[in-house]
Chain A
């Protein structure tokens, strides 16, 4: 069944989700190969991209994506995109009387978008038959925007100019992709769970159904949906409704939901922080309910009102308050997490991944990531792993520190991007291996034995992919000087005066876990939300639903969910492991 293309439809709900999603799609686009000669890459891009055709007959290649955001969050991007547009047409053919124009002045484009426009234009001029860079027309047009950008290798320093996600969106989107929601009321904000929850009805629901129908109907072997949803604002409510709808209409498909939260929100107040906490709480309960599994993804130290400092990565220097930065780290991790079901050969379908992790009602899983995976240039995997024999190299990506006692109900680890490095130690036969890891004969065994040294009894599934995540502009250069251009560690930092190398690819290791650590994590969420009387402290939170009874019920469900993770049987739980049920 490995040759089948099992399609995935992606949904991005909320502004931060779109930040992460945009970085993620840029990463996908960077690893596309337009050269018919080169061997097909490990990741099958058709899983998440679709081939289409414009009215003019041009072939397009766009994400199978539905992105929802608030009005005003698109700035320079047109909702319909420019791919299917047949030129600017401002005639009012339906009216003969007078027409009054109200024109808004166009927002200033940053240097990256300007270059992108220019490149689009050049390619248009070069090849008449393929007006857009994403064209696969006859594969003749190998000279793509990617190549151009790679050649320029200009670092754009967009930190100051990125206001919304479309400011660094490199790909073209299908006209059906973007959906702008208008919450009622004057504020144009989606602050509370109930507000998002009540949004999905009437024309909004109909529009979403139409869009879903468009992307789903053409799939022969749809394996499921990956849903990226903002957890801290009202989109959590919308996401709950959306996952519920997916669950009802597409039973049997995988629904992998990632709840995303930025490290900090601009101009936050104590009341808003309270709202964020409540949204996280309700969102976690409801989305976990309707998804195959639910994984919170954030660099925050905790989801509570006074979180500890954000996750720090030894080889990254990013600005946690900058959405543009934090979302790029999460996108890298997400690229590795999602790779299992996007592989060309031996891909693991979504539902199998979910079955491995979410056993007996434990639908919430936590993510950990080593971004980048610390690997010396020119060494082997055993060397790299034995260098971190004392502690696992990954950091929490779900605001949930590992319990550290080696207990876990299920784990899914992915190592992506060891290309060019040796997987197994190349010791001459006869010499004594410095560590047991060096004597093993496959990458899987080495990694498994390494992780087992921390989690002795946990069921473990592994995925090794050699191709790294390719970073091309506008990915922010947030790397420390110890990394070389391939993202491996250098033995010595470049001498002062030399500019640090531009990192163009990165190895990443991630792990999804379902373990007892989630019990305190979920209980903490429950305590945080039930610590105060919501009717007194934040009465307007419930003004658009849910009812107080439903709210109490959700808290009760959260308590039960936490109970599922309580460990009474020393962590040895029945769970299907990956090796023997390879599809």
Chain B
């Protein structure tokens, strides 16, 4: 009888074996849901809501977010897995699979009377060893474009079909390479992802510059400007209510009118300053001049600018202002008082593209853009969302690879090698904790097994082939998903992120040990407002 029962007869309690059984079944349930996702041959999931909303995904992270997980243990695991995605951008599915498998292996020993604490110790020892193996196995080399393409392809092929994946791969790698600066962390924020709903097209383009999703709001402004100066500014060019209008400062309607027209003049003065700069930098009108303003520009000001042949865009997004100056150069101006030609950026081509009611302005052919745009095209929203998710993951994979400076063999090769090393390492561990190490080694093998299974091969047979091949050749072999035979992962260009694997080993061990050590679950009345 649990103590809480004496205090609260309504409390539900599960202890020891029963508690473990509850937790393990939750972990296995989650594992079953995500199992079929893993790898390039996994199953795509299409979720159709009652109102016909479609969600298309194969990403474990997205799926976990979509599912309304009720079970507290399952939601705990889901949180860890999604945290993995937040940190490294990949590995959600593997995470859930390995946690489930660790618990399954542990359950075998626990049912034979081994104390969970000892298994947890074994897990800990195994993790240390596995991390050491990871350090040995990682391939440190210069991250040239080819390696990065391999890394990105490995990630993207599990999200979209091969042809599209190859297209995305190039775009993603070039995007990151464009914004990467030596010895500085990569800010993926500088890669803008722009969606465009297009009836027939389904592709992705890298724009070395910026795409803004609005256009000039004046019929006389040019739709296409070549070789243009770009002025980025945050200056209001519209008549708006200011303090003078608010009652305290005028006595009669006449006086107020005067203040209003004075303010109008104020705005006109600003426009004149911009026009003056334009006349200064392009005296004979052979170069274009584009103003991109974060604040508004009213029709009067637009008119005045259009007359001078200036193309003006208003209300640019705040986050695009920084990107603009990085893409075209120049400085974002907060006032027109000290405008000089040095503040201006340059773009080889600025043009507008209209699609239905949406307008896009492309700022392209910038000299040395340090901010670029990935333009996604797709026939409908759910396709776009899915490509966007994939691109995000691809970007993260490339960023990780550059920052790690190293990669790890994929396709299950890493897991096979670690499992082998752990079995060899077992005698060095004292006592019954050896069993925990064994469990850990067996659990890791779930990755190659599921990869094979999802491609339609016999998991055991494939695994045995891999292990034999690995022992004989000593090379890092993974599953070739088109044949089911072993292949040398590195030669086939299947590379995973080092940081993803490292994070995976850490979080799986911690969470599996924690769940294993739970020996009492209770649910007592207190209806907390938030779980």
Interface on A for B, CB 8 Å cutoff? 52-57, 74-80, 86, 88-90, 92-107, 175, 182, 185-189, 191-192, 195, 206, 209-210, 213-214, 216-218, 220-222, 249, 252-254, 269, 271-272, 275, 349, 351-352, 355, 359, 540, 543, 575-576, 580-582
- The A-contacting residues of B in range 143-194, CB under 8 angstroms, are 160-162, 164
Interface on B for A, CB 8 Å cutoff? 36, 40-54, 56, 58, 65, 68-70, 75, 160-162, 164, 197, 199, 202, 213-214, 217, 236, 240-242, 245-247, 252-253, 256, 296, 298-299, 314-315, 317-319, 355-357, 378-381, 383, 386-387, 390, 527-531
Q: How far is the CA of A3 from the CA of B428 in the complex (A)?
A: 87
- Sample of 19 more A-B contacts, CB < 8 Å, known A75-B50, A252-B236: A76-B50, A92-B44, A94-B164, A95-B161, A97-B44, A99-B43, A102-B45, A107-B50, A185-B530, A188-B68, A206-B319, A209-B319, A210-B317, A218-B214, A272-B529, A359-B247, A540-B530, A575-B247, A581-B256
Residues from chain B with a CB closer than 8 A to the CB of A222 are: 296
B424 to chain A, nearest CB (A): 37
Which listed residue (B43, B49, B70) contacts A100, Cβ 8 A?
A: B43
Which listed residue (B56, B241, B355) contacts A252, Cβ 8 A?
A: B241
Between-chain CB contacts (< 8 Å), 28 pairs: A55-B355, A76-B51, A78-B51, A79-B53, A80-B381, A86-B380, A89-B380, A90-B46, A93-B378, A93-B379, A94-B202, A96-B162, A100-B36, A100-B45, A102-B47, A103-B48, A175-B381, A186-B69, A186-B70, A186-B75, A188-B68, A189-B530, A192-B529, A209-B318, A210-B317, A213-B315, A217-B217, A580-B253
Contact call A55/B197, Cβ cutoff below 8 A: yes
Nearest opposing residue in chain B for A195, CB measure: B530
Q: How far is the CA of A550 from the CA of B358 in the complex (A)?
A: 43
Residues from chain A with a CB closer than 8 A to the CB of B380 are: 86, 89
Residues from chain B with a CB closer than 8 A to the CB of A94 are: 56, 160-161, 164, 202, 378, 383, 386-387, 390
Q: How far is the CA of A195 from the CA of B529 in the complex (A)?
A: 12
Contact call A75/B68, Cβ cutoff below 8 A: no
Q: How far is the CA of A92 from the CA of B56 in the complex (A)?
A: 8
B451 to chain A, nearest CB (A): 13
Residues from chain B with a CB closer than 8 A to the CB of A352 are: 245
B192 to chain A, nearest CB (A): 11
Residues from chain A with a CB closer than 8 A to the CB of B202 are: 93-94
Which listed residue (A55, A218, A272, A359) contacts B217, Cβ 8 A?
A: A218
Contact call B53/A78, Cβ cutoff below 8 A: yes
Contact call B531/A101, Cβ cutoff below 8 A: no
Residues from chain B with a CB closer than 8 A to the CB of A275 are: 529
Residues from chain B with a CB closer than 8 A to the CB of A188 are: 68
Which listed residue (A78, A95, A185) contacts B160, Cβ 8 A?
A: A95
Which listed residue (B43, B65, B383) contacts A182, Cβ 8 A?
A: B65
Contact call B44/A100, Cβ cutoff below 8 A: yes
Q: Considering the complex of A and B, which 6 residue pairs feature the smallest CB-CB distances, nearest first?
A: A576-B247, A252-B240, A96-B161, A95-B44, A53-B357, A55-B356
Nearest opposing residue in chain A for B49, CB measure: A104
Contact call A540/B387, Cβ cutoff below 8 A: no
Residues from chain A with a CB closer than 8 A to the CB of B42 are: 97
Contact call A88/B531, Cβ cutoff below 8 A: no
Residues from chain A with a CB closer than 8 A to the CB of B528 are: 540
Residues from chain A with a CB closer than 8 A to the CB of B296 are: 222
Nearest opposing residue in chain A for B242, CB measure: A252
Interface SS of A by simple majority: loop
B115 to chain A, nearest CB (A): 31
Q: How far is the CA of A185 from the CA of B65 in the complex (A)?
A: 10
Which listed residue (B44, B214, B315) contacts A99, Cβ 8 A?
A: B44
Q: How far is the CA of A54 from the CA of B197 in the complex (A)?
A: 11
Contact call A543/B530, Cβ cutoff below 8 A: yes
Q: How far is the CA of A576 from the CA of B246 in the complex (A)?
A: 9
Contact call A101/B50, Cβ cutoff below 8 A: no
Given contacts A97-B41, A351-B241, A581-B247, contact A217 B52 (CB under 8 A): no
Which listed residue (A54, A75, A86, A249) contacts B318, Cβ 8 A?
A: A249
Which listed residue (A93, A182, A217) contacts B214, Cβ 8 A?
A: A217
Q: How far is the CA of A502 from the CA of B269 in the complex (A)?
A: 59
Which listed residue (A102, A214, A271) contacts B529, Cβ 8 A?
A: A271
A253 to chain B, nearest CB (A): 7
Contact call A52/B44, Cβ cutoff below 8 A: no
- Give the number of residue pairs across the A-B interface with Cβ within 8 Å: 166
Contact call B46/A100, Cβ cutoff below 8 A: yes
Contact call B246/A355, Cβ cutoff below 8 A: yes
Given contacts A54-B356, A213-B214, contact A93 B68 (CB under 8 A): no
A222 to chain B, nearest CB (A): 7
Nearest opposing residue in chain B for A354, CB measure: B246
Residues from chain A with a CB closer than 8 A to the CB of B527 are: 269
Which listed residue (B50, B241, B383) contacts A93, Cβ 8 A?
A: B383
Contact call A351/B529, Cβ cutoff below 8 A: no
Q: Which of B43, B214, B240 has the largest number of chain A CB atoms within 10 A?
A: B240
Residues from chain A with a CB closer than 8 A to the CB of B75 are: 186
Q: How far is the CA of A92 from the CA of B384 in the complex (A)?
A: 11
Residues from chain A with a CB closer than 8 A to the CB of B214 are: 213, 217-218
Residues from chain A with a CB closer than 8 A to the CB of B531 are: 185-187
A158 to chain B, nearest CB (A): 18
Q: How far is the CA of A580 from the CA of B54 in the complex (A)?
A: 56
Residues from chain A with a CB closer than 8 A to the CB of B355 are: 55
Q: How far is the CA of A416 from the CA of B197 in the complex (A)?
A: 43
Contact call A220/B50, Cβ cutoff below 8 A: no
Given contacts A95-B44, A96-B161, A100-B43, contact A221 B53 (CB under 8 A): no
Residues from chain B with a CB closer than 8 A to the CB of A192 are: 529-530
Contact call A95/B58, Cβ cutoff below 8 A: yes
B376 to chain A, nearest CB (A): 11
Contact call B56/A89, Cβ cutoff below 8 A: no
Contact call B379/A89, Cβ cutoff below 8 A: yes
Contact call B253/A98, Cβ cutoff below 8 A: no
Which listed residue (B53, B164, B314) contacts A217, Cβ 8 A?
A: B314
Residues from chain B with a CB closer than 8 A to the CB of A210 are: 213, 317
A514 to chain B, nearest CB (A): 14
A4 to chain B, nearest CB (A): 9
Residues from chain B with a CB closer than 8 A to the CB of A271 are: 529
Q: Which of A94, A185, A206 has the largest number of chain B CB atoms within 10 A?
A: A94
Residues from chain A with a CB closer than 8 A to the CB of B40 are: 97
Nearest opposing residue in chain B for A543, CB measure: B530
Which listed residue (A101, A221, A582) contacts B46, Cβ 8 A?
A: A101
Q: How far is the CA of A131 from the CA of B42 in the complex (A)?
A: 40
Contact call B50/A106, Cβ cutoff below 8 A: yes
Nearest opposing residue in chain A for B390, CB measure: A94
B190 to chain A, nearest CB (A): 15
Contact call A349/B44, Cβ cutoff below 8 A: no
Residues from chain B with a CB closer than 8 A to the CB of A213 are: 213-214, 315, 317
Nearest opposing residue in chain A for B40, CB measure: A97
Nearest opposing residue in chain B for A577, CB measure: B247
Which listed residue (A74, A90, A253) contacts B48, Cβ 8 A?
A: A90
Contact call B247/A53, Cβ cutoff below 8 A: no
B484 to chain A, nearest CB (A): 16
Q: How far is the CA of A540 from the CA of B527 in the complex (A)?
A: 12
Residues from chain B with a CB closer than 8 A to the CB of A191 are: 529-530
Residues from chain A with a CB closer than 8 A to the CB of B52 are: 78, 88, 106
B460 to chain A, nearest CB (A): 22
Nearest opposing residue in chain B for A274, CB measure: B529
Q: How far is the CA of A520 from the CA of B498 in the complex (A)?
A: 63
Contact call A221/B54, Cβ cutoff below 8 A: no
B148 to chain A, nearest CB (A): 22
Given contacts A220-B298, A220-B299, A253-B240, contact A101 B381 (CB under 8 A): no
Given contacts A54-B356, A89-B380, A94-B386, contact A99 B241 (CB under 8 A): no
Residues from chain B with a CB closer than 8 A to the CB of A95 are: 44, 56, 58, 160-161
Q: How far is the CA of A105 from the CA of B256 in the complex (A)?
A: 62
Q: How far is the CA of A186 from the CA of B56 in the complex (A)?
A: 22
Q: How far is the CA of A540 from the CA of B528 in the complex (A)?
A: 8
Contact call A540/B529, Cβ cutoff below 8 A: yes
Nearest opposing residue in chain A for B45, CB measure: A100
Contact call B51/A55, Cβ cutoff below 8 A: no
